[in-house]
Structure 1
Amino acid sequence: MTQNNAASTNVRTRFLICSDTHRIDSLPGLIPSKQHADVAIHCRDLTTQSQLHEYKASIRLLQAINAPLKLVIAGNHDFTMDIPEFHKKVAEASLERELVEQAYGCDGDARRLFEGTGITFLDEGVHSFHLQNGALLTVYASPYTPSLGDWGFQYHPDKGHDFIIDDGSGTNVDVVMTHGPPKGILDYTHSGERAGSADLFRALARARPRMHCFGHIHEGWGARLITWRDRPTAVPSHLTDIDNGQSCTIAKLSDIKHGARQSLSGDAARMKCFATSHCSGDEHPLNWGSQTLFVNAAIEGTPQSMVNQKENLSMQLPWAVDLELRSSRGAGETSEK
């Protein structure tokens, strides 16, 4: 993969990232509406029970964010958007059609709520956007996670899933946006087990995007700048393909416990979120092609902190991330593909 890291052709771009808000309709004091980001990303679980009123609350949350581009995907709790799974749940519950439609709507109703809201709902695949700041952003999105129960957009771990981040077309993906983590990165559960996807990790190790953002595993909140080994192995894994000596942890859940904050310059310094910057001249500038920033941005807190199992956390912090993207100059007029 050939990447162009020339600083003169890059555009500094701010991302505001969150996930797993589970029907919260506002984040009071966390994301002041006057603070600006170039791109807002929600890695889903907008809802808890996938009911229409929950989607409406989440839309209000996203509309309050000051960003010209807002991207969302589905999550396992948003099961009404997984039509076969929705039908299965309704059949198993033997609910009356009228009751189902009142709470959940008909097929496609949840998706249609996003029309005309200024929020872009992404299906699985690669999408490209020309940003207002002059940057070109290419995103791979996928809602699929390994099965942890009877929910939407899940696959059996033994059967796997094809995350086609690099389709061989030469399109370089900047940001991967999934609901769940890859295996081995910010995916520890309270039981001490890893819940990430091995299939997703293998795809990421081969594509090597600038950033991968996700949620799903709430106790895995944090960010880590990964340095890849020179070449991916035949079957990439977190044990063989990460150069841990050249990687660094940006933040982990214990940082919330101690009230720690990182800040960017200007208005991001006043945003009550965890902020990190990996542009030219920063302490840890991201070297695209050999490094990837991983961000677990789960907002809803966990019943037990990984640091102190007696401490309850009701809400975790969103992320503000500054990265450099390619300039869109000369890249055509298409806003999405």
Structure 2
Amino acid sequence: METSISSNIKTRFLILSDTHGHELPEECSQHHADVVIHCGDLTDCSYLTEFQTTIQQLQRLDAPLKLVIPGNHDFTLDTPTFQQKVNASGLDANEHDRRLVRQVYGDYEEVRRKLFTDDLQQSSGITLLDEGIHVFTLANGARLTVYASPYTPSLGGDWGFQYHPDTGHDYQLGSTTSSSSSSSSSSDPIDVVITHGPPRGIMDYTTSHSDTHSERGRRAGCPGLFKAIARARPRLHCFGHIHEGWGAMIAQWRDDGMGSSSSIAANEPSHFMAIDHGRSTVISKLARLVELGKEKVPAVMEASHCSEDPAPLTPGEHTLFVNAAAKRCRPEVPVHPLWLIDLDLSRAGAIC
């Protein structure tokens, strides 16, 4: 008697962001994952030593593939911004100053060329992603299609990978059809979106007195990014940047007029219109960590939303949003937990 092979494979993601060159709790390296995702702000000041510390931390994590994007603090990976900052500070005026810059920050493109090397990718699975779509065949046999972007909106624009909110940014995610259809407008529907910043309305509310990237007490996410996510409806969208927005939620997309693909294409959808909040689920948020107290906050927060789980994620109907900013913004929580997430992915070679 032949047994059928499932077209889906349970895949574990360990997600973190905004580590800012700090070491992670030892417990984080005790969890195996199929994919580690770091959503940017690898450093605090873009020092070479901070990049080296973060790479060492990533090497300790147990996963065959580790996907990394920069954040606004990692400005040396944004060469035009790095050059502008050096020129504006006058540190290119003489060889002595240029030598000091190279000692602390490296030369232009040095971090990319000498730290995030092909050898590092081969030995530790650490892969620095440029903006765009990337397709991987995982060690567990699943196919993973990722869209990555390090860009965030900013009124100042003096950090890396930033754009003015009035200008916006073109997040070219493409589009997918709902799970009820057997075809898609893309040969590889996007499974996971990795951005440094959040979409507007999703775990993007700033309340921290130390927030320097947006006005305190305002939503800091990007409306254009939300529109792109609402059109593509990936299984998972992970990000950081807004530390006080740490948390995760399963969003239920509306399939009425306000949430349909045609409406999204023609209008600027908001999280109020496109998401059915009455049928969405908050998995956790920072306020719940504060209630736990400093001694009870775990190093890793786990959630599973595969087909056999009590709350399965249905592609095209749900998106799991994860803000994985690890650096604390409240004294009651020493370090925000990393996220360990189980999701179904399509088997490589399966017909979608």
Fold similarity call, TM over 0.5: yes
Q: Structure 1, residues 62-110: CA drift from partner, whole Å, max 9, x if none?
A: 0000000000001000000111100110011112211111111111111
Alignment-derived partner of residue 308 in structure 1: none
Which deviations, in whole Å up to 9, do the C-alpha atoms of 1:98-152 show, x marking residues without a partner?
Answer: 1111111111111120112231010000001001111000000000000153200
Structure 1 residues 293-335: Cα deviation after superposition (integer angstroms, max 9, x where no partner) = 0000000001x4xxxxxx453311000000000001368xxxx
Partner SS, residue 240 of structure 1: helix
1:163 lines up with 2:171 in the alignment: yes
From 203, 221, 246, the counterpart of 2:228? 203
Q: Aligned letter for 1:105?
A: G
Residue 132 in structure 1 maps to residue 133 in structure 2: no
Kept after mapping to 1: 8 A contact 2:299/2:335: no
**Unmatched 5+ stretches in structure 1:** 1-5, 261-270, 305-310, 332-337
Match of 1:250 in 2: 283
Q: 1:17 maps to what in 2?
A: 15
**1:29 to 2:29 alignment:** no
Find the counterpart in structure 1 of residue 273 from structure 2. Answer: 240
Letter in 1 for 2:269: P
Q: CA deviation at 1:170?
A: 3.6
Q: Which residue matches 1:97? A: 98
TM-score, normalising length: structure 1: 0.87
Q: Does 1:279 align with 2:303?
A: no
Tell me the secondary structure at the aligned position of residue 258 of structure 1. helix
Quote the residue 2:129 is aligned against. Answer: 122
Higher helix share: 2
Match of 1:50 in 2: 46
* 8 Å contact kept, 1:187–1:195: yes
Classify the secondary structure of the residue corresponding to 1:138. Answer: strand
Tell me the distance in 2 between the aligned counterparts of 1:177 and 1:189: 20
Secondary structure at the counterpart of residue 181 of structure 1: coil
Give the residue type in structure 1 aligned to 2:86.
V
Specify the SS of the correspondent of 1:152: coil
Partners of 2:217 and 2:5 in 1: CA distance: 41
The more displaced of 207-216 and 187-196 is 187-196
How far apart are 1:166 and its partner, in Å? 1.0
Retained in 2: the 8 A contact 1:222–1:250?
Answer: yes
CA contact (8 A) 2:7 2:350 kept: no
Amino acid at match of 1:12: K
Query: What is the one-letter code of the residue matched to 1:242?
Result: I
2:148 maps to a residue whose letter is: A
Q: Which residue in the other structure is 1:81 paired with?
A: 77
Sequence identity of aligned pairs in percent? 54
1 CA distance for matches of 2:316 and 2:350? 22
| Cα separation, partners in 2 of 1:7 and 1:254, compared to 1, 3 Å | farther
Pick from 172, 175, 178 the counterpart of residue 192 of structure 2.
175
Distance 1:128 1:324 in 2: 16
Question: How many residue pairs are counted as aligned between the two chains?
Answer: 307
The reply on whether 1:40 has 2:36 as its aligned counterpart is: yes
Change (3 A) 1:321 1:243: same
Tell me, what secondary structure is at the counterpart of 1:54? Answer: helix
Give the unaligned 5+ runs of structure 2: 92-96, 176-184, 208-215
8 Å contact 2:25–2:299 — kept in the other structure? no
For the pair shown, which has the larger CA radius of gyration, 1 or 2?
2
The answer to whether the 8 A contact 1:43-1:72 is kept is: yes
- Equivalent pair of 1:256/1:317 in contact (CA under 8 Å): no
